[in-house]
Chain A
């Protein structure tokens, strides 16, 4: 398995500000993803974090709003930019291990006022 940590675990932010979420995994992984889970909903994939290159975004998500970095095999960041109350959600980092198994981090609970 993989041990994944996310920082911060939760935050309350003001409209118009930005928040950067960090994801650290304890072993090398083949892929890293960022998901969003809105209240009462299932998981929605935001993007695939690619090492050393631009992330691959899903339909409806853009780099200007959700810039992502992945400088190495075990670390990634997601920034939620120019936040609005509609961005209030849980943001989850997810990794695929070398055994091709996918795990989720503990999540970051974001509230935008």
Chain B
């Protein structure tokens, strides 16, 4: 059974702080990792993805990947109330990056307080 574990939350941070969202996964064959944001009542929205060990930055978001530790994280700098949502970590199953199934964690609810 391939599993993805995320902080259950809710995670509460003050506006302007850094929010850190963590995810561990069991499938050693996973090579690509996706982060989605889901507002209540809406569908998941892709934030970013990462394939290589290390950091990948996109605006206020930084994804970090450590395949040896089977760990991926998402940092949100200068958090805003509009970042309040559930964040879903989704490793792609398998040993290649092409079209495999995503395995979803339960998500971490983030609340950014003004």
Contacts and interface: CB of A to CB of B under 8 A. Distances in A.
Contacts of B102: 45, 102
Interface in B11-45: 32, 34, 36, 42-45
Interface residues of A, number: 20
A106 B101 CA distance: 19
Nearest to A33: B101
Contacts of B101: 33, 45, 48
Most B-side CB within 10 Å, residue of A30, A48, A103: A103
Contact of A42 (B32, B43, B107): B107
B69 interface: no
A103 B104 CA distance: 14
A47 B31 CA distance: 22
Interface in B44-61: 44-46, 49
A100 B99 contact: yes
Contact of B44 (A30, A100, A104): A104
A96 B88 contact: no
B46 A103 contact: yes
Contact of B43 (A41, A92, A101): A92
Interface string A19-32: 00000000000110
Contacts of A96: 99
Contacts of A43: 44, 88, 104
Chain B interface size range: 10 to 19
B51 to A, nearest CB: 9
Contacts of A67: none
B99 A104 contact: no
Interface of A: 1, 30-31, 33, 41-43, 45, 48, 90, 92, 96, 100-107
Nearest to B106: A42
Nearest to B32: A100
Most B-side CB within 10 Å, residue of A43, A90, A105: A43
A1 B99 CA distance: 15
Given A42-B88, A42-B105, A100 B43 contact: no
B46 A101 contact: yes
Contacts of A92: 43-44
